[in-house]
Chain A
């Protein structure tokens, strides 16, 4: 079972906090993987917020492919950073040769292009690069995200050891972010591949989930035609990202309608509501994006808003707590106890089956009933 967590704070947070959040939940995951997405970065990336940041893991050959590819596309390297690696023996981690986090300057022609055009370009580059790497050979390289102010790290192995290898336990000011989403354990429903680990990221949207998507086949069959970036599907949880992206970015529906899409109200309840027509139209147009399985979903929007919602049977746990200028979400309450020992636990929120909890950038926590 995956364990997931998320931290949103007004101050910069070090990934060690996220590791601590997960560490106490270790009995609930199988130590087979770790993944993390950091957004609104500080530390060494603070000066490059507007430049797209590429996160990738590669072999020697892969690095060359990436660099050649990027140059050919007209990008120039603005900043490169690799975590300090701790090659201690006995670490349980399936290493790649290189882990790169690179800020790139847009091609000259694009420098002043409108934001939307830039976003399409970045998406296209990531998709193309992923294909190029895949074509070049098995496990040559993995490109996780290419977006301003977003860093993604995914690895197969014991989260604790992965933390050790990347020096993430050591609190310093190099790697900092105001939003960190994190998951322990690979998704083992399908192949154990690096891409399969959540959080998943696409065009400013991050989603991770604890649970199982029994509607995976339906979701996937529908999503693969909806947007060119809906690819991969290495994990059944990936579908949640695409649905959030589709509902919010493509259809431009208000955030609260995500819940109406994934877990629509039963017909007899819809019929009693003033907005019955709207809800019915959504339910009948998008039945293939519904989920029925047990899930807790955490999402982050491009503007930094964080959300949490659950399946309509509320079969998976999640808890939200707050201390000072930080709000954290965790599969298990022990995670919160570890990083927020002094919070008022009576104010913890256990998101219910018909709720979407929205945490905005002022850290106001809104509970929206579906």
Chain B
């Protein structure tokens, strides 16, 4: 009897198994060529074959024959991610990945050391707070609702430090009108949806380009003042020196990657960027720095970031800055000074139990230089993150945004440091509804990122499908620098999908603003919401309805 090698991995131990039909397969090889992970291979199996010759049936057992097959590679490194590329390319529908509910993945995968994985959180996506909230105050008889199609709406949100009215440098001039005596901190009024920080190293260049194309198109052709955040690592010098820089928010993260190039390009900039975001933390791997695996650090990334090919790790904190006050002041002052106080500077942290303390500190802001606070919740994030972080670390964003807003209300300072929310906005594909609700709870606007990947063709999902963004093998050509794979991405189609989605987002937002009678963004209109969950209603301070 053969020895059972008990510790061997079989496809049944893996999260996805391959269902292959010998009958339909014509052995064209498309699937194995398409699988970027090497999860399937052509092989040979021995089969007993029965055949019949002659006029009357005369079955005979033949000698064993070697039969070519497509089979799953049963090892951890080359595990099937369920991306479905094989199915997409198969002309005969002979192959497809099947979710394996009986897998032993949590036990076997750690044997290869700490797995890195990009993508999304895999736990708790069914039970979303935002889905337990509905817009319950509908304008009816006495406060008529608006016409979503014909009315004009003011879809703009502030990015920048807003002074309280008594600090405005206004005085009454000789003609009885108000005059402004000195300039205010810069505030950019932008669309309440920002394309969040995914770096040009994390994404394929073409993918990043598609998002920037969509950004420019939405601004210039559709009149939607949407902004895109560069992510850490800088951007092409040609863009830094172009007029289009005004649509970009530059990010500075703890690794400061790309900043030497940005600083060098400053004298040649013809436009100011739309803002700067200092990233302290992110929702996908809170408390962790950035991570770009060596396999994604292609030549052009090395050039943009000014680094050799190696894993690029940003430290978990901004070195040398050890308190909110100190770090905020140092960074904000230097960054504000760099652009002569013309460019608003905001800060981004992961949502955390102490987000409110951070916001309270920001609200004090004696220098009037804090241009915004972006909270990134647990469901946020693309790129490389440890599975453990994605699944088990972080804080939901909704209640934190609410807590921060309420803290500002208690001090009479709402709106002075614009609040932006990210992390799971659009997780179910309904970004407008999510944004609307978060705005009613006190945010000024939202950042989205993962949904952009999905719009461009990402095949991953929040139930563990694909999520291989860190590997450099993205089957959709989005999060890889592999030339062959990048070509899979149709850049124009990707940009167009984003544009189309934002146009839909825009009309959906209006469709929600109209029935509550708002022609401007419903910031803080918590009275417009009700929750069908009593605990959610209590926590958020909105009406409970059933």
Contact = CB atoms under 8 A, between A and B. Distances in A.
Interface residues of B, number: 41
Contacts of B168: 281-282, 285
A315 interface: yes
The secondary structure that dominates the B interface is loop
A217 B142 contact: no
Interface in B388-417: 409-412, 414-415
B347 interface: no
Contact of B170 (A218, A281, A288, A312): A281
A293 B524 contact: no
A211 B517 CA distance: 13
When A and B form their complex, which 5 residue pairs have the shortest distance between CB atoms, in order from nearest? A225-B412, A217-B527, A212-B143, A285-B165, A221-B409
B487 to A, nearest CB: 42
Contact of B177 (A275, A285, A312): A275
B179 interface: yes
B165 A286 contact: yes
Interface of A: 1, 211-212, 214-218, 221-222, 224-226, 250-254, 257, 266-267, 275, 277-278, 280-282, 284-288, 290, 292-294, 312-313, 315
Contact of B516 (A214, A266, A284): A214
B320 interface: no
Nearest to A226: B412
Given A1-B142, A294-B143, A312-B519, A288 B414 contact: yes
Given A222-B414, A253-B172, A292-B520, 14 more contacts: A212-B143, A214-B139, A254-B177, A266-B154, A267-B189, A278-B170, A281-B184, A282-B165, A285-B162, A285-B165, A290-B520, A292-B517, A313-B146, A313-B519
Nearest to A236: B143
10 contacts: A215-B525, A216-B527, A217-B524, A222-B409, A226-B412, A250-B166, A253-B178, A278-B178, A288-B415, A288-B524
Interface centre among B162, B172, B177, B520 (most CB of A within 10 A): B520
Interface string B126-166: 00000000000001001110100000101010100011111
B517 A254 contact: no
A209 B516 CA distance: 20
A191 B519 CA distance: 28
A257 B517 CA distance: 23
A215 B176 CA distance: 29
B217 to A, nearest CB: 20
B414 A221 contact: yes
Contacts of B525: 215, 217-218
A284 B520 CA distance: 12
A257 to B, nearest CB: 6
Contacts of A315: 144
Contacts of B189: 267, 284
Contacts of B343: none
Nearest to B169: A281
Contacts of A222: 409, 412, 414
Nearest to A266: B154
Contact of A225 (B154, B158, B411, B415): B411
Contacts of A281: 163, 168, 170, 180, 184
Contacts of A225: 409-412
B164 A285 contact: yes
A135 B503 CA distance: 55
B518 interface: yes
A257 B176 CA distance: 11
A224 B168 CA distance: 20
A218 B524 contact: yes
Contacts of A251: 165-166
A323 to B, nearest CB: 30
A284 B187 contact: yes
Interface centre among B142, B168, B415 (most CB of A within 10 A): B142
A266 B154 CA distance: 6
A183 to B, nearest CB: 15
